[in-house]
């Protein structure tokens, strides 16, 4: 008999909750959490649907599950959804979402006797599970989560609550504006303190930066603080290198699936966070070049082992080519050009990153047509052009790119790529 997968075991165990006692439920919820950690993306998506959240709501309504247990279960769900699978929408259209919205507003409106612990539990679950945060709930959830996130007590329980709060805050969409006065001074203090004392978990620290970079997308006044005062590029490079040391990159995707470690998910979150920074930061410096080098090292390490991280690295490289503040010689120094050149003909044409590879190659070719002021970098640019030209002839790049033109779909949802293949070639 074929063994049941994690989704089947999760569904079977979840169905027992409504028939269990309160204490039995707590034990079963921890078992469910273990199964969540085993799930890959497809298994997670198939399990965490609108119907599942409606079932939880029904158990609360019929008093088959106390709110305390529901919060425990949703806390685990929100943690895994935000850490691993940020685009799961099952919660948003559910009756449970409506219940939590109502409870949050009612609790916050109490003139006296507000239960701050309950409000935090509701906000952290709602924020971690919701993809489309209600405009009327944003100030309530943000204020509540920020208050917990800035708690400086050092006990383990507080440390975990701070991690959960920052993880939920990092889930606030980048196009939602939050006033600087609500967070900036405190988050600066938290980051500076961590640099000296290393008091935050890796996930907490990444989530704090993720929250700040998302605010940067709408508020460019944060640039000086992020780039020059808090030294984001230096900190991100250090964290990425530390995380890379903990991961076994020799694990092949074709082998029997091994559970991914939390460090891999945190690393993927860092790479995603870099994309907007590389695209819009104008204060480019040597620390930024070092960060490019760190991403190049990851890209080379994961090229055969993690297609998702590899795809995100390509997105980061493309973002750098879109930023006029990034000089072509800085991309050369960081090694991004050589790394992608090495990998260009190795990836599957049908992969979702095909457009990004092609776009990056085109933009690098455009950059290599631009002369640099530095003689050493000009010589390197000329040598790289020669290498690319020879590589195109040797590997059949022209035929490869022409073939891609027949495969790639051009439309408004993707970057517009010029279909004249001559634009992708670097001639002397």
- For the stretch 355-378, pLDDT in tens is 777 778 777 777 777 666 667 777
Structural contact between residues 173 and 165, judged by C-beta atoms closer than 8 angstroms? no
Structural contact between residues 337 and 385, judged by C-beta atoms closer than 8 angstroms: no
Task: Express each pLDDT in 243-290 by its tens digit.
Answer: 988 887 665 444 444 556 788 899 999 999 999 999 999 998 889 989
406 versus 50: the higher-pLDDT residue is 50
CB 239 within 8 A of CB 293: no
Q: Considering the entire predicted model, what is its pTM?
A: 0.86
Give the angle 22-70-52 at the CA atoms, nearest 5°: 115
Distance CA 284, CA 227 (A): 8
What is the token pair recorded at 204?
A: 């907490």
Tens digits of residue pLDDT in 160-200: 899 999 999 998 888 888 889 989 999 999 999 999 988 89
In the three-class reduction of DSSP (H, G, I as helix; E, B as strand; rest coil), residue 196 is classed as helix
Q: Could you tell me if 174 and 214 are in contact, meaning their C-beta atoms sit under 8 angstroms apart?
A: yes
Mean pLDDT value across the chain? 83
What pLDDT does 339 receive? 80
Q: Report the percentage of the chain scoring pLDDT > 90.
A: 46
Query: In angstroms, what is the C-alpha Rg of the chain?
Result: 24
Q: How confident is the model at residue 411 (pLDDT cuts 50, 70, 90)?
A: very low
Query: Which pLDDT score is estimated for 308?
Result: 81
The least confident of 48-62, 93-107, 164-178, 407-421 is 407-421
2-45 pLDDT, tens per residue? Answer: 567 888 899 999 999 999 999 999 999 999 999 998 888 788 88
**In this structure, are residues 73 and 129 in contact, taking their beta carbons and an 8 Å threshold?**
no
pLDDT band at 427 (very low <50, low <70, confident <90, very high): low
Tokens in use for 423?
A: 């634009």
Structure tokens at 132: 């489309």
Tokens 């490019």 belong to 292
Catalogue the long-range contacts made by 87-90 (C-beta closer than 8 Å, 24 or more residues apart): 87/131, 88/44, 88/45, 88/48, 88/131, 89/131, 90/48, 90/49, 90/50, 90/52, 90/53
pLDDT > 70: percent of the chain: 81
pLDDT tops 60 at residue 421: no
């Amino acid at each position: 008999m074929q063994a049941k997968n994690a989704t089947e075991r999760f569904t079977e165990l979840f169905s027992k909750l409504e028939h269990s006692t309160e204490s039995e439920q707590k034990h079963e919820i921890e078992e469910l959490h273990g199964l969540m950690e085993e799930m890959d993306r497809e298994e997670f998506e198939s399990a965490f649907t609108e119907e599942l959240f409606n079932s939880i709501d029904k158990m609360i309504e019929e008093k088959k599950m106390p709110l305390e247990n529901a919060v425990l279960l949703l806390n685990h769900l929100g943690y895994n959804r935000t850490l691993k699978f940020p685009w799961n929408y099952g919660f948003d259209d559910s009756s449970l979402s409506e219940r939590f919205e109502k409870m949050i507003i009612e609790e916050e409106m109490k003139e006296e006797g507000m239960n701050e612990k309950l409000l935090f539990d509701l906000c952290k679950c709602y924020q971690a599970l919701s993809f489309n945060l209600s405009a009327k709930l944003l100030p309530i959830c943000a204020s509540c989560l920020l208050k917990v996130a800035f708690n400086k007590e050092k006990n383990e329980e507080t440390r975990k609550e701070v991690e959960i709060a920052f993880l939920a805050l990092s889930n606030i969409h980048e196009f939602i504006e939050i006033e600087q006065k609500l967070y900036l001074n405190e988050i600066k203090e938290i980051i500076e303190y961590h640099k000296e004392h290393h008091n935050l978990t890796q996930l907490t620290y990444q989530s704090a930066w993720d929250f700040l970079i998302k605010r940067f997308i709408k508020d460019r006044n944060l640039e000086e603080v992020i780039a020059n005062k808090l030294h984001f590029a230096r900190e991100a490079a250090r964290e990425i290198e530390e995380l890379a040391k903990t991961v076994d990159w020799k694990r092949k995707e074709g082998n029997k699936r091994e559970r991914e470690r939390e460090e891999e998910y945190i690393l993927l979150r860092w790479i995603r966070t870099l994309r907007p920074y590389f695209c819009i930061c104008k204060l480019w410096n040597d620390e930024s070049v070092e960060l490019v080098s760190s991403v190049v090292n990851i890209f080379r390490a994961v090229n055969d082992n993690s297609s998702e991280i590899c795809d995100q690295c390509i997105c980061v490289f493309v973002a750098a080519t879109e930023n006029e503040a990034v000089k072509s010689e800085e991309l050369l120094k960081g090694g991004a050009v050589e790394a992608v050149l090495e990998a260009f003909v190795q990836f599957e044409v049908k992969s979702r990153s095909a457009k990004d590879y092609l776009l990056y190659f085109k933009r690098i070719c455009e950059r290599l047509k631009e002369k640099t002021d530095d003689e050493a970098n000009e010589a390197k640019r000329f040598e790289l052009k020669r290498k690319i030209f020879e590589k195109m002839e040797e590997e059949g790049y022209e035929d490869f790119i022409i073939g891609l033109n027949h495969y790639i779909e051009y439309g408004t949802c993707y970057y517009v790529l010029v279909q004249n293949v001559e634009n992708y070639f670097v001639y002397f």
